[in-house]
Each structure stands twice: as C-alpha cells, then as structure tokens.
Amino acid sequence: MVETAKAVKLMIFDVDGVMTDGSLFYTDAGEEIKAFNSLDGHGLKMLHSSGVKLAIITGRTSKLVANRARHLGIDFLHQGAHDKLVVFERLLLEAGVSAAECGYMGDDVVDLPVMRRVGFAVAVPEAPELVQQSAHYVTGRGGGRGAVRELCEYILQAQGSWERVMAPYLR
C-alpha cells in the first residue's frame, strides 16, 4: 500500500461524500450549499506544495466547487462528469501522467471504473462494501470529516515529504 502511494504524481478526488459528508443542501431559491472541512483544505495545500498535482472529477456541477478548487489551487477541475472513466482518460493526457501514477479517492460505485484503473485507490469508510474492497486504502475518518487530510498526510509520509512540508510549522 505504501509503495502505491509513493508513486502518486496526480491525486484525484470526487467531491460529494469525499470532500463533503455527502449531504446536499438547497435554499428555497434552489441554490446548492456544501460544507467543506478546513483541515482537508490545508491538507490539499500541503500535498500540492510537495509537488503532487491535484484534480477533481465530479458528476455534479456547481460554482461553489469551482470556487473551492480555485481557492485550494486544484490543478484540474472536471465537473458534470457522467462517465468518470472517459474524463479520467482525458485527464491522463492533460496532466501528462500514467494511470499507475494516479491516485483516486471516491465513495460510491460511480467511482469504481476510475478506482480500478489508478495505481492508488482510496475510499472513505461510508463507501459501500464493494467500493471499500476495490480500494488500496480506506480512511479512518469520514468524508468531509478529515478523510482528505488523512490521505494527504499518508501520501506525504509515504513519499518522504512529510518533514519538509511540516518544517515551516515546527520552527
């Protein structure tokens, strides 16, 4: 498992159920609201600072996800992805990486086609059993509750970047 995390050059994330707890809130005006975890966000920034590229592939489309991605410095954002595998294949070309150099974090069966292609597949504990069985790593923390941060720290440690990334905080 650590060996597969070592090879990650591009880490790809689903949004609902991974970066959020999966709840969808709508205002009376029809606006969608999501809650993101700030620890997850800083974990993404730390992982990105280590040289790992970041991507989002999500089936839904929303301005707030685009804003969150921009704020975090996400390199590649693909929304409205009804066939995530097709988008993933394009992303490989766009990012200039192989499938073996990618990680993907998902939470449901729609994520399985990509999870089965990447070198490092990750699931959250709320994911259905089939999804968890397809993962190299299942986080202890839940989606939207620190799972992304846990994964980022795991990759940083596996790649030997942890101490360098943490140095500014430990002076």
Residue 14 in marked binding region = yes
Residue 16 in marked binding region = yes
Residue 21 in marked binding region = no
> In Å, how far are 14, 117, 119, 162 from 18, measured between CA atoms?
6, 19, 19, 22
Residue pair 79/87 in contact by the 8 Å Cβ criterion: no
C-alpha count within 13 angstroms, C-beta hemisphere, residue 16: 19
> In Å, how far are 11, 72, 79, 138 from 135, measured between CA atoms?
14, 25, 23, 6
C-alpha count within 13 angstroms, C-beta hemisphere, residue 2: 5
Which residues does the annotation place in the binding site for substrate? 16
Which residues does the annotation place in the binding site for Mg(2+)? 14, 107
Which residues does the annotation place in the binding site? 14, 16, 107
